[in-house]
């Protein structure tokens, strides 16, 4: 029986020294350290190539021993990558085969160490910071009847383009997306929970909710109940009630004395907006803002994609479940396609085969979303669809993903599950039939968060992709209007908006190196 050393190796060199003390497995007797010099050099070479592939250097003293604890496929790929960059003229098949054999033998002999807690890959639950405490659900069926009826009319007035009831001319000026109305419902749900369960009121109507004192009481109650976080929800509630206040003003019930879309600071809806923003600004000091999330270049996004493609998360016993593997590979698809189509989270989860992602007549993969399906397209004066032809680099990833869905679902996966990046679950318990459905936004985001945290060491968000891609294009040296137009096309936005948000040139330096340089230097002429 192999004795496990008490002081575990910290780097690969220490692990290699320990391996030389272990008995040989080739039946020749003795220990590994008694092998020939050429044999030991071969094993050392395999480890140095592993370091080259993963860390960019071949110093075994600086490479952590945990490199060998990664999934075998990932270790082999890293060894071949390191050797390929080292050997001039390309890696020969026989050398590639030998390197794989050597590194597999090392992993086999060191397996008692690699399975220890200190050297296994971390699970996403260990990497993920403890979140806010969850709260029990308050169902929409528990709403007071009067509020439910009024809110149904609000959804009709704000959302239906064919609405011609009271105030239709004003509602036509400010139609809301289904996503926005869903946010209103979500925000009012928590406020009504406070009114019904905490205050014991069953006769609540919408006009009763338009009350700043009530919102302040709710904020105090909710934040105490939540214990950690919850400030964004308070803001959402305030924004939802502001939308309700505008609706009641148009319907003639509020009678605040202000025009329904007035931006006067004393207008009830503006005061509610300000209250929501203030609560979050004062209390949510630990919020991670957009600029605080480290940026990823398109090349770094693809590195994360390649890592996620082959390195799946493990549980504490070192096993990878099917759901974990599928979720990680779905996240790999996000990081692979994000530089080519930086769309919003909602668009990623709603994307369907044939409708949003399809092949055109020339055999090129294209992505398309209708104006009402995108935020920017809908807000334009002239609605415009988001439509792009994707490059060949994206085609490779799409074909790989289609092969994955074929393995998971079957050759007819488009008929069984129309979504490009679906969620894999079960209808009943752990052993029930698998059910494929649209992925929840929160679940999709969690996969991105945990993957980037594991690979890059920091969190990431889907919306940051838009910021990173646009910044990468526009802040390049000698950026021109062509670059601004490229960024606008990728984001589905107007060039003017993109230029105002991202193009921050050094104005004097541009003049000095541009137009002013045409006049020469008078001192030099003298």
Q: How far apart are CA 60 and CA 19, in angstroms?
A: 14
pLDDT, tens digit, 9 for 90 and up, residues 411-451: 888 988 899 999 987 555 455 677 788 998 888 988 898 88
pLDDT, tens digit, 9 for 90 and up, residues 199-222: 998 899 999 999 999 999 999 899
**What tokens appear for 427 in the block?**
């209808």
Lowest mean pLDDT among 5-14, 177-186, 252-261, 344-353: 5-14
> 89 or 123: whose pLDDT is higher?
89
Q: 3-class SS at 440?
A: coil
- pLDDT, position 288: 44
Q: Where are the beta strands (DSSP E) in 236-336?
A: none
> 197 or 323: whose pLDDT is higher?
197
**What tokens appear for 117 in the block?**
């807690």
Q: Indicate whether 289 pLDDT > 50.
A: no
Lowest mean pLDDT among 246-260, 265-279, 303-317: 303-317
Residue range 51-55: mean pLDDT, rounded: 89
**What tokens appear for 246 in the block?**
């505008």
Nearest to residue 367, comparing CAs of 421, 327, 331? 421
Highest mean predicted confidence (pLDDT) among 93-107, 124-138, 172-186, 333-347: 333-347
Q: Supply the DSSP symbol for 419.
A: B
> 57 or 4: whose pLDDT is higher?
57
- pLDDT, position 3: 44
Residue range 86-91: mean pLDDT, rounded: 83
Cross-strand bridge partners of residue 358: 366
Is the distance from CB of 465 to CB of 342 less than 8 angstroms? yes
218: buried, middle or exposed (CB in 10 Å: 19+, 13-18, 0-12)?
buried
Share of the chain above pLDDT 90, in %: 36
Gyration radius (Cα) of the chain, Å = 29
Q: What's the predicted TM-score (pTM) here?
A: 0.56
- pLDDT, position 514: 74
pLDDT, tens digit, 9 for 90 and up, residues 330-376: 999 999 999 999 999 999 999 999 999 999 999 999 999 998 888 76
Is the distance from CB of 119 to CB of 66 less than 8 angstroms? yes
Residue range 229-257: mean pLDDT, rounded: 90
Q: Indicate whether 226 pLDDT > 70.
A: yes
E strand or H helix at 234: helix 231-250
Q: How far apart are CA 251 and CA 167, in angstroms?
A: 6
Is the distance from CB of 419 to CB of 411 less than 8 angstroms? no
Is the distance from CB of 82 to CB of 50 less than 8 angstroms? yes
Count of CA atoms in the C-beta half-sphere (13 A) of 164 = 1
Order the strands of the 357-359 sheet from edge to edge. 357-359, 365-369, 386-389
pLDDT, tens digit, 9 for 90 and up, residues 470-485: 888 888 777 778 888 8
> 434 or 198: whose pLDDT is higher?
198
pLDDT, tens digit, 9 for 90 and up, residues 141-186: 899 999 999 999 999 999 888 898 998 988 888 888 888 898 899 9
**What tokens appear for 277 in the block?**
């923003």
Residue range 227-239: mean pLDDT, rounded: 84
Q: How far apart are CA 361 and CA 434, in angstroms?
A: 35
Highest mean predicted confidence (pLDDT) among 280-294, 297-311, 314-328, 433-447: 297-311
- How many Cβ atoms sit within 10 Å of the Cβ of residue 316? 10
Mean pLDDT score across all residues of the chain: 83
């Amino acid at each position: 029986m192999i004795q496990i050393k008490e002081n575990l190796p910290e780097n690969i060199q220490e692990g290699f020294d320990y391996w030389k003390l272990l008995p040989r497995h080739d039946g020749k007797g003795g220990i590994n350290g008694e092998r020939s010099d050429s044999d030991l050099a071969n094993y050392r070479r395999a480890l140095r190539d592993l370091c080259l592939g993963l860390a960019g250097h071949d110093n075994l003293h600086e490479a952590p021993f945990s490199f060998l604890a990664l999934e075998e496929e990932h270790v082999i790929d890293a060894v071949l990558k390191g050797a390929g960059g080292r050997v001039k003229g390309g890696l020969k098949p026989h050398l590639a085969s030998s390197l794989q054999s050597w590194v597999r033998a090392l992993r086999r002999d060191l397996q008692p160490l690699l399975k220890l807690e200190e050297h296994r890959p971390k699970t996403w639950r260990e990497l993920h910071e403890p979140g806010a405490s969850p709260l029990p659900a308050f169902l929409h069926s528990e709403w007071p009847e009067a509020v439910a009826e009024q809110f149904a009319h609000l959804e009709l007035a704000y959302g239906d383009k064919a609405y011609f009831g009271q105030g239709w001319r004003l509602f036509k000026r400010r139609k809301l997306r289904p996503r926005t109305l869903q946010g209103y419902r979500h925000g009012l749900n928590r406020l009504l929970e406070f009114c019904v369960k905490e205050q014991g009121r069953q006769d609540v109507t919408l006009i009763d909710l338009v009350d700043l004192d009530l919102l302040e009481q709710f904020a105090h109650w909710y934040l105490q109940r939540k214990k950690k976080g919850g400030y964004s929800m308070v803001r959402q509630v305030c924004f939802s009630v502001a939308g309700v206040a505008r609706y009641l003003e148009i319907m003639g019930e509020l009678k605040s004395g202000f025009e329904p879309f007035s931006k006067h600071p004393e207008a009830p809806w503006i005061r509610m907006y300000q209250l929501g923003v203030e609560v979050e600004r004062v209390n949510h000091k630990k919020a991670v803002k957009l600029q605080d999330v480290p940026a990823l270049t398109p090349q770094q996004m693809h590195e994360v994609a390649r890592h996620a493609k082959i390195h799946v998360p493990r549980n504490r016993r070192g096993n990878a479940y099917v759901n974990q593997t599928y979720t990680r590979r779905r996240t790999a698809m996000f990081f692979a396609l994000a530089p080519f189509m930086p769309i919003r989270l909602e668009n990623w989860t709603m994307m369907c085969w044939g409708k949003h992602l399809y092949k055109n007549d020339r055999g090129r993969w294209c992505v398309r979303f209708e104006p009402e399906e995108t935020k920017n397209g809908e807000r334009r004066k002239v609605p415009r669809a988001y439509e792009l032809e994707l490059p060949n680099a994206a085609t490779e990833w799409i074909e790989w993903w289609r092969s994955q869905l074929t393995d998971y679902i079957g050759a007819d996966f488009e008929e069984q599950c129309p979504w490009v990046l679906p969620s894999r679950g079960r209808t009943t318990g752990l052993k029930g039939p698998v059910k494929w459905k649209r992925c929840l936004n929160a679940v999709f985001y969690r996969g991105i968060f945990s993957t980037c945290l594991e690979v890059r060491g920091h969190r990431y968000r889907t919306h940051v992709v838009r910021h990173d891609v646009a910044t990468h294009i526009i802040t390049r040296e000698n950026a021109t209007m062509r670059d601004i137009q490229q960024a606008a096309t990728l984001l589905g936005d107007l060039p003017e908006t993109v230029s105002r948000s991202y193009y921050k040139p050094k104005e004097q330096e541009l003049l000095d190196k541009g137009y002013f340089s045409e006049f020469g230097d008078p001192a030099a002429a003298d």
